[in-house]
C-alpha cells in the first residue's frame, strides 16, 4: 500500500488552498467540518467561497504572487484549473517541506483527501488510493446508508461508560473482558433504539458480572425481494446468535444472517406446523434466557397477519428485552411489483386487508362489509379458499365481472400474475398450477395491471 491512513488533530494544522473553483470549494467544505484553519488564494472565488470569506470562516488572499504565501509547515492544496500553475505551486511548497495535494494528480501528491462517513465523533475515511474516485464514493454511500443514524449517541454513551469503568476497574485484562461483553450485549442496540435508561441497566449488570438476559428481534422480512429489507432489519439480522424463521422468508434473505447463527425453521402451512405457535413463543423466551441474541424472522410485516403480537406478549410477560422492526407487507410489495395500485383516484378510495384463512380453518368472512364500490380487497393466505370466497362475494352482491388478480411469489424473480374476474377465477385455478405464497387483490384497480406492469 502506498498511502498511510492517519488521523491528524485538526487544530494543529493549517491549510493553504490555491484556487477558487468547484474543486477548491469541495476541499474547503470538507476542511471546515473539522474546524481547520483555511487560507484560500485566488483572484476570483465562486459565490459560496465568497460568502465563507465574508463570514470570516476562511481567509482569502487575491494575490497571484504564489510563492510568498507558502508558509513552511502548512499543508498545501493546488486546486487551480491550470495544471502548469498547480505544478509550480507544488515545487514551491515542497522546497519549503510543505506536504502538497495536487487536484487530479495523485502521483505527484504527498496526501489525498478520503471520502468520509461522518457520525461525529465517529468518522470513517475511505480511499481507493486514487485508483477510482467513483468506487470511493460508492463505498462511502454504502457505508453511510448502513450505519445507524444514532451512532453519535452510542459513541457518547460508550465514552461515559469508559470513564466509569476506568475509575472502577484497575486491571486492564478485566476491562477488556467487560468491553467484549458490553459490545455483544443488548446495550448497543438499546442505545441505538433511544432506550439509554435500559442500556444503562444492562451495562451495570455486565460490569457487576451478573448473568445476562439476551434479547429478541422481531423482524419483518418483507415479501421476498431482499432489497426491500429495511436498513435496520439487515443490521439486526446480521447480529443474531439464533434465527427462528418462517416459511415465507426467501432463501436470499436468509443469506444475510450471521453465518455462525443457529438456524431454526418454524414455518407453518395449512395443517402443517413445524412448531405450534405456543412452542415458538416459548422457544424465543428460553433462548433469550440463555443470554442469546434471538432473531424472529417473519415474512412481510410481523403485525399484519403474522402473529407477532402473540409472540411479544409472551416476551413482555417474561421480562425479555425485545425490538420490533416492521417490514413491507405483502399487500404493498406484491401490488407494487404487479403494477396494481391499491388506491387510485378513479378506482378505489379505500383498501381493506383480510385473511382468507381464519383461526378455525374456515373462510367465513364478514361478506356484507366487503361489498363496497371503489374499495380494494387484499386477501392474505386465500389461495385454497379463493373459489369459495369469490362465490360468496357474488352471492352477497358483488358483480361477477369484478376484476381479481392472483400474485404468486410476489416481488421475487419467479413472480407470476394471473388476472380474471370473480366468475372466471375458478377456471384460472383449474388450468394453472398456482402455489403459495399467493396474494389476492380484488377490485377495479386490477384493470391497471396490464398498463402499469414493469
For residue 33, give the 3-state DSSP assignment: coil
- Output the domain CATH number for residue 262: 3.40.1010.10
DSSP state of 227: G
Q: What is the pLDDT of residue 361?
A: 58
Q: Whole-angstrom Cα distance, residue 217 to residue 287?
A: 12
- Residue 425 domain flag: yes
C-alpha cell at 11: 487544530
Give the residue numbers spanning the domain of 157.
148-212
pTM of the entire predicted model: 0.78
- Give the CA distances from residue 165 to residues 156, 189, 290, in Å, rounded to whole numbers and listed in that order: 14, 20, 25
C-alpha cell at 392: 360468496
Residues 362 and 416 in one domain: yes
- Residue 259 domain flag: yes
- Number of domains observed in the structure of the chain: 4
Catalytic residue among 14, 59, 232, 268: 268
Residues 188 and 250 in one domain: no
Residues 219 and 193 in one domain: no
C-alpha cell at 166: 476506568
- Residue 143 domain flag: no
Catalytic residue among 27, 246, 301, 409: 246
Residues 201 and 225 in one domain: no
Per-residue pLDDT of the chain (454 residues; tens, 9 = 90+): 789 999 989 888 899 999 999 999 999 999 999 989 999 999 999 999 999 999 999 999 987 565 566 677 799 999 999 999 999 999 988 888 999 999 989 999 999 999 999 999 999 999 999 899 999 999 999 999 989 999 999 999 999 999 999 988 889 999 999 999 899 889 999 999 999 999 999 999 898 888 888 899 999 999 999 999 999 999 999 999 999 999 999 999 999 999 999 999 998 766 566 789 999 999 999 999 998 999 999 999 999 999 999 999 999 999 999 999 999 999 999 999 999 999 999 999 999 999 987 665 567 889 999 999 999 999 999 999 999 999 999 999 999 999 999 999 999 999 999 999 999 999 999 999 999 999 999 999 999 999 999 9
Q: Has 433 been annotated as catalytic?
A: no
Q: 71: how many CB neighbours lie within 10 A of its CB?
A: 13
- Residue 127 domain flag: no
Residues 80 and 166 in one domain: no
- Output the domain CATH number for residue 396: 3.30.950.10
At which residue does the C-alpha cell 477548491 appear? 24
Q: What is the pLDDT of residue 228?
A: 97
DSSP state of 199: H
- Output the domain CATH number for residue 38: 3.40.50.720
Residues 204 and 239 in one domain: no
- Please say which residue of 212, 236, 262 terminates a domain: 212
Residues 219 and 296 in one domain: yes
- Please say which residue of 304, 328, 352 terminates a domain: 328
C-alpha cell at 90: 507544488
Q: Which residues contact 230 (CB under 8 A, 6 or more apart)?
A: 220, 325, 326, 327
Packed helices 22-32 and 47-54: angle between N→C axes, nearest 10 degrees: 40
- Residue 339 domain flag: yes
Residues 289 and 339 in one domain: no
- Residue 125 domain flag: no
Residues 340 and 306 in one domain: no
Residues 206 and 219 in one domain: no
Q: For every residue of 136-156, which 3-state class applies, written as one string?
A: HHHHHHHHHHHCCCCHHHHHH
- Please say which residue of 212, 232, 257 terminates a domain: 212
Beta bridge partners of 377: 352, 442
Residues 218 and 166 in one domain: no
DSSP state of 389: H
Residues 226 and 287 in one domain: yes
Q: What is the pLDDT of residue 68?
A: 65
Q: Has 268 been annotated as catalytic?
A: yes
Amino acid at each position: 500500500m502506498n498511502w498511510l491512513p492517519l488521523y491528524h488533530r485538526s487544530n494543529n494544522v493549517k491549510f493553504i488552498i490555491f484556487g477558487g473553483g468547484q474543486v477548491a470549494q469541495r476541499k474547503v467544505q470538507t476542511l471546515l467540518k473539522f474546524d481547520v484553519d483555511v487560507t484560500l488564494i485566488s483572484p476570483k472565488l465562486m459565490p459560496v467561497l465568497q460568502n465563507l470569506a465574508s463570514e470570516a470562516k476562511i481567509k482569502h488572499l487575491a494575490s497571484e504572487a504564489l510563492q510568498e504565501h507558502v508558509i513552511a509547515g502548512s499543508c498545501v492544496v493546488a486546486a487551480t484549473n491550470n495544471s502548469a500553475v498547480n505544478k509550480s505551486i507544488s515545487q514551491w511548497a515542497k522546497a519549503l517541506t510543505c506536504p502538497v495535494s495536487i487536484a487530479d494528480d495523485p502521483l505527484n501528491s504527498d496526501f489525498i483527501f478520503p471520502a468520509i462517513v461522518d457520525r461525529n465523533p465517529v468518522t470513517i475515511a475511505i480511499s481507493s488510493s486514487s485508483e477510482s474516485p467513483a468506487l470511493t464514493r460508492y463505498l462511502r454511500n454504502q457505508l453511510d446508508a448502513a450505519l445507524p443514524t444514532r451512532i453519535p449517541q452510542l459513541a457518547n454513551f460508550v465514552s461515559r461508560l469508559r470513564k466509569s469503568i476506568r475509575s472502577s476497574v484497575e486491571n486492564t485484562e478485566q476491562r477488556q473482558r467487560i468491553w467484549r461483553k458490553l459490545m455483544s450485549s443488548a446495550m448497543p442496540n438499546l442505545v441505538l433504539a433511544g432506550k439509554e435508561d435500559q442500556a444503562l441497566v444492562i451495562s451495570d449488570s455486565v460490569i457487576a458480572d451478573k448473568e445476562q438476559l439476551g434479547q429478541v428481534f422481531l423482524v419483518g422480512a418483507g415479501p421476498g425481494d431482499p432489497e426491500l429489507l429495511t436498513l435496520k432489519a439487515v443490521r439486526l439480522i446480521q447480529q443474531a446468535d439464533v434465527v427462528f424463521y418462517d416459511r415465507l422468508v426467501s432463501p436470499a434473505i436468509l443469506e444475510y444472517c450471521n453465518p455462525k447463527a443457529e438456524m431454526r425453521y418454524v414455518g407453518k402451512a395449512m395443517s402443517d406446523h413445524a412448531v405450534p405457535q405456543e412452542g415458538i413463543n416459548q422457544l424465543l423466551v428460553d433462548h433469550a434466557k440463555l443470554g442469546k441474541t434471538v432473531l424472529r424472522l417473519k415474512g412481510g410485516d410481523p403485525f399484519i397477519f403474522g402473529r407477532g403480537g402473540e409472540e411479544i406478549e409472551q416476551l413482555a410477560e417474561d421480562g425479555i428485552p425485545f425490538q420490533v422492526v416492521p417490514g413491507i407487507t405483502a399487500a404493498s410489495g406484491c401490488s407494487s411489483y404487479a403494477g396494481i395500485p391499491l388506491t387510485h383516484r378513479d378506482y378505489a378510495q379505500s383498501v381493506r386487508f383480510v385473511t382468507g384463512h381464519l383461526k378455525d380453518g374456515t373462510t367465513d368472512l364478514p361478506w356484507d362489509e366487503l361489498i363496497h364500490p371503489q374499495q380494494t380487497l387484499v386477501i392474505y393466505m386465500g389461495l385454497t379458499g379463493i373459489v369459495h370466497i369469490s362465490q360468496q362475494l357474488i352471492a352477497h352482491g358483488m358483480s361477477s365481472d369484478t376484476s381479481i388478480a392472483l400474485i404468486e411469489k410476489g416481488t421475487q424473480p419467479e413472480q407470476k400474475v394471473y388476472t380474471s374476474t370473480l366468475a372466471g377465477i375458478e377456471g384460472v385455478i383449474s388450468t394453472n398450477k398456482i402455489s403459495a405464497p399467493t396474494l389476492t387483490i380484488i377490485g377495479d384497480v386490477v384493470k391497471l395491471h396490464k398498463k402499469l406492469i414493469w
